Amino acid sequence: MASWHNFSDENLDKIPEEPGVYKIRWFHKGKPKPIARLAGIDWEGILYIGSVSAKKSASSAYSVGLRGRLYDFRNSAVGRNKYHIAGKTYNYFGFSRIIPLEGLQFQVFYQLENPRCTKTYAKSKVESVEHAELRKYLRKFRDKPPLNFSMARFDANNEQLV
């Protein structure tokens, strides 16, 4: 299992600028903070499941790649930019009054194994892993993680609902 890290520059700088999937959780006193969900308690304290499917390009207006995306979350969470929807949600709806930024950790749990692949393949593969993790969470708790502001819904056969 991949390890969890706080949002310090030191930890973020170690993350590769490659496509991948990550989670953000709430922790307190060195342990995940349980979160009541519709169908049970999330003992891992998962607040967000997200992905990035491309590396930074010269024409990009914002950072991409895992490192850049996690920096974007942190910067959006404190109001420095608006590039990450979960960070904007955390900031705008006052999550910081309940969960200080120091109480957040991230985990990169999937990194694209071939970063030189086509953008289309990277997007497909990374989104597939992210959607599988979101479906697993949704099946278990009948709810999405709190900072996943919107997400595709799936029926009992894992077919995406429109």
Q: Does 124 score more than 90 pLDDT?
A: no
Neighbours of 64 (CB within 10 A): 18
Measured in residues, the chain has a length of: 162
Q: What is the pLDDT of residue 159?
A: 62
Least confident among 18-22, 30-34, 56-60, 141-145: 56-60
- Could you tell me if 22 and 102 are in contact, meaning their C-beta atoms sit under 8 angstroms apart? no
Q: Does 74 score more than 60 pLDDT?
A: yes
Q: What is the pLDDT of residue 162?
A: 37
Rg (alpha carbons) of the chain, rounded to whole number: 15
Delimit the domains of the chain by residue range: 5-161
- Which is more confident, 120 or 108? 108
Q: Does 54 score more than 90 pLDDT?
A: no
Rounded Cα distance, 121 and 26, in Å: 32
Render 46-96 in DSSP notation, one character per residue. EEEEEEE-S---TT-SS--SHHHHHHHHHHHHTTS----HHHHHHHHTTGG
Classify 116 as helix, strand or coil. coil
pTM: 0.87
Question: pLDDT tens digits, residue range 3-44?
Answer: 999 999 999 999 988 899 999 999 999 999 999 999 999 999
What letter does residue 158 receive in the DSSP assignment? Answer: S
